[in-house]
A and B are shown apart, each in its own frame.
Chain A
Amino acid sequence: MALDPATVRRIATLARIRMDDAEVTTLVGELNTIFGWIEQLNEVDIAGVDPLAGAAHMALKLREDVVNDGGYPEEILFNAPDRNGDFFAVPKVVE
């Protein structure tokens, strides 16, 4: 199934990446090449196979459901591009 420019624009919107027409054109070509190559997975018989989400050869551990970290706003905000008091600052959201 071939990706068209409209689909690539839609994905770019979902991914929150601004994209000009030239990049959309480039990506249509590249993504079609990549997905064309990935089509080989359709040869594999996956009937009755359970999906594998991760490679951890163990049971994942649980911990107590308690707050065990936090309380250092200066460190959290240290890398903020813009702040207002103890908050991250962003432009106005117009609905």
Chain B
Amino acid sequence: MLTDLTIAEARDGLRAKQFTAEALTLEHLHAIEALNPRLNAYLSVGHAQAMEQARAADKALAEGDTRPLLGIPLAIKDLFCTKGVRTTAGSKILMPFVPPYESTVTANLLRDGAVFLGKTNMDEFAMGSSNMTSHYGPVENPWKRRQDPSAVLVPGGSSGGSAAAVAARLAMGATGTDTGGSIRQPASFCGLVGVKPTYGRCSRWGVVAFASSLDHPGPFGRTVRDSAILLGSMAGHDPKDSTSADVAVPDFEAACSRSIKGLRIGVPKEYRSDGMPGEIETLWQQGVAWLRDAGAEIIDVSLPHTKYGLGTYYIIAPAEASSNLARYDGVRFGLRVDGPELRDLYERTRAEGFGAEARRRIMIGTYVLSAGYYDAYYLRAQKVRALILRDFTEAFEKVDALLTPTAPSAAFAQGDKSDDPVTMYLNDVFTVPADLAGVPAASVPGGLDRDGLPLGLQVITRPFDEETMFAVAAALERAAGFAALPTLRAGA
């Protein structure tokens, strides 16, 4: 089936005229039609636009056009504004919103010839680790427990729809965003490669803002090479985002073939958590052995402030969110609930338009920024954030990359971890530090747990050294030989 191809394979097949972009897109649209009613991975599917883009790609291919993503069908997280296509951020408050502009990242993908199949489901405003906070319903993980195939598992979050779509072969790749782990944790839960690049590598312009100093757009792929191809198109300097880095975009795909011989790999002892299953520890040690066998030198390192990452994150991210989400006032765009006075309109619109998790985070953020509490919470958190960055900076004086588990568990069932908010927050314990420090990090599938569910390994490198990250990730991928497939997928 064409839906089983990698992006690299499809690109070669299209150029060799083995099949058309139209056929490739059509096969994906049929797969979406068959599986999306169950998975709920897509919030909207753009049949007509996708077919039009595919036909344009075929015409360009016939003329010898070699743009890197020409005719490749992708899914776009519904946090990226797409011109003329409804963009909800998983929230009721943006239900009526149709952006009159295209985000820079999606414009870059279109420039390179990509076909957009549709917009994917997500936790509301990217606030969540399970996709359970979406106003438009949860997403079903296409992976099933061997002994309990009827249990409906979460795909992770917040980019849960993108992860489920790529895993189930309803797209060849997808965009996501990672603020506390929202690309890497769903990649780990769905057996995919997920990349959070360096802060500033991908423009945030046109991406609905959650926590601006932490929001990182990045790709999902089924292979390291596919993720590298996608990041190569998504990345690049953008004058419209003042934090976009004006640095050259290297050939990420070429970096996947680099040898890791002689690289120094750090293993940070703090990446262990209470109740973490032994098989995650075992997989981590297996990953260390794979890299040693590939010629890397393994060095024990310490990142002493790791355990404070989540607490720091749950001050800084809500603080920035409370400010960013102040724009949803029922006046300029989005939902409006009328009231006799302007104040009533604001308060009713926001009470009705935001879900429970978004309201909770706005409340946390408003509190920590309010008079009398700023120093005790927000300023302290910014100082701890500096120490977390210093941990990485010092570690990278000794090593070229860090290897850790991606998440402290495999995919859990819908409704689990919902007893209190902190239990859910703890799922991001290993991913949050790289967001706070802005350093690049990728999750690669390493193996399966005893239930047959995928587990990811995380590679973290220095700022703007995604090439080493891809080289190490590709070495892990080669050694792991991860070939397991999800139960629910196109053609299965």
Which of B344, B359, B387 is in CB contact (< 8 Å) with A44? B387
A10 nearest CB neighbor, chain B only: B370
Instruction: Say whether, besides A17-B350, A41-B384, A55-B213, A88 and B363 are in contact (CB < 8 Å).
Output: no
| Contact indicator per residue, chain A 40-71, by CB within 8 Å of chain B (1) or not (0) | 11111010011111111110110100000000
How far apart sit A12 and B340, CA to CA, in the bound complex (Å)?
19
Contact partners of A23 in chain B: CB under 8 A:
359
Q: Which of B6-14, B40-48, B430-438 sits within the interface?
A: B430-438
Q: Please tell me if the beta carbons of A44 and B384 are within 8 angstroms of each other in the complex.
A: yes
How far apart sit A12 and B380, CA to CA, in the bound complex (Å)?
23
How far apart sit A65 and B335, CA to CA, in the bound complex (Å)?
34
> For this complex, into which size category does the number of interface residues on chain B fall?
35 or more
Contact partners of B243 in chain A: CB under 8 A:
54, 56, 60
Contact partners of B100 in chain A: CB under 8 A:
75-76, 78-79
Q: Please tell me if the beta carbons of A31 and B242 are within 8 angstroms of each other in the complex.
A: no
State whether the Cβ of A4 lies closer than 8 Å to any Cβ in chain B. Answer: no
Chain A interface secondary structure, helix, strand, loop or mixed? loop
Taking CB atoms and an 8 Å cut-off, the chain A residues in 64-95 that contact chain B are 75-76, 78-82, 88, 90-94
Taking CB atoms and an 8 Å cut-off, the chain A residues in 28-47 that contact chain B are 30-31, 33-34, 37-38, 40-44, 46
Q: Please tell me if the beta carbons of B98 and A16 are within 8 angstroms of each other in the complex.
A: no
How far apart sit A71 and B265, CA to CA, in the bound complex (Å)?
53
Most interface-central of A34, A49, A53 (chain B CB within 10 A): A34
Q: Please tell me if the beta carbons of A93 and B342 are within 8 angstroms of each other in the complex.
A: yes
Q: Please tell me if the beta carbons of B342 and A31 are within 8 angstroms of each other in the complex.
A: no
Taking CB atoms and an 8 Å cut-off, the chain B residues in 314-331 that contact chain A are 314-315, 322, 326, 329-331
Instruction: Say whether, besides A44-B387, A53-B382, A30 and B421 are in contact (CB < 8 Å).
Output: yes
How far apart sit A63 and B242, CA to CA, in the bound complex (Å)?
9
Taking CB atoms and an 8 Å cut-off, the chain B residues in 435-491 that contact chain A are 435-438, 463-464
Q: Please tell me if the beta carbons of B341 and A93 are within 8 angstroms of each other in the complex.
A: yes
How far apart sit A42 and B370, CA to CA, in the bound complex (Å)?
19
Which of B307, B338, B363 is in CB contact (< 8 Å) with A31? B363
Contact partners of A40 in chain B: CB under 8 A:
307-308, 311
Q: Please tell me if the beta carbons of B330 and A33 are within 8 angstroms of each other in the complex.
A: no
State whether the Cβ of B290 lies closer than 8 Å to any Cβ in chain A. Answer: no
How far apart sit A30 and B331, CA to CA, in the bound complex (Å)?
30
Most interface-central of A16, A31, A78, A91 (chain B CB within 10 A): A16
| Contact indicator per residue, chain B 365-399, by CB within 8 Å of chain A (1) or not (0) | 01100100000010111111111010000000000
Contact partners of A81 in chain B: CB under 8 A:
96, 330-331, 333-336
Q: Please tell me if the beta carbons of B366 and A46 are within 8 angstroms of each other in the complex.
A: no
B422 nearest CB neighbor, chain A only: A37
Taking CB atoms and an 8 Å cut-off, the chain B residues in 86-111 that contact chain A are 96-98, 100-101
Q: Please tell me if the beta carbons of A51 and B379 are within 8 angstroms of each other in the complex.
A: yes
How far apart sit A3 and B380, CA to CA, in the bound complex (Å)?
19
Q: Please tell me if the beta carbons of B350 and A79 are within 8 angstroms of each other in the complex.
A: no
Contact partners of A94 in chain B: CB under 8 A:
341
State whether the Cβ of B199 lies closer than 8 Å to any Cβ in chain A. Answer: yes
Output the least CB separation between B410 and chain A (Å): 24
Q: Please tell me if the beta carbons of A46 and B332 are within 8 angstroms of each other in the complex.
A: no
Contact partners of A57 in chain B: CB under 8 A:
198-200, 245, 438, 463-464
A81 nearest CB neighbor, chain B only: B336
Q: Please tell me if the beta carbons of B213 and A53 are within 8 angstroms of each other in the complex.
A: yes
Output the least CB separation between A85 and chain B (Å): 15
Instruction: Say whether, besides A37-B422, A55-B436, A79-B98, A11 and B308 are in contact (CB < 8 Å).
Output: no
How far apart sit A33 and B246, CA to CA, in the bound complex (Å)?
42
Q: Which residues of B contact A (CB under 8 A)?
A: 96-98, 100-101, 198-200, 213-214, 239, 242-243, 245-247, 305, 307-308, 311-312, 314-315, 322, 326, 329-336, 338-348, 350-351, 354, 359-360, 362-364, 366-367, 370, 377, 379-387, 389, 420-422, 435-438, 463-464
- 18 A-B contact pairs sorted by A residue (CB < 8 Å): A3-B367, A14-B366, A16-B350, A17-B350, A17-B362, A23-B359, A38-B377, A41-B380, A41-B384, A44-B305, A49-B383, A54-B199, A57-B464, A58-B246, A75-B101, A79-B97, A79-B333, A92-B342
Given contacts A40-B311, A61-B242, 13 further A-B contacts (CB under 8 A): A12-B363, A14-B366, A15-B350, A17-B362, A18-B351, A34-B421, A37-B422, A44-B387, A46-B384, A49-B383, A55-B213, A91-B339, A91-B340
Closest 9 CB pairs of A and B: A55-B438, A51-B382, A79-B333, A81-B336, A52-B386, A18-B347, A57-B463, A54-B213, A46-B383
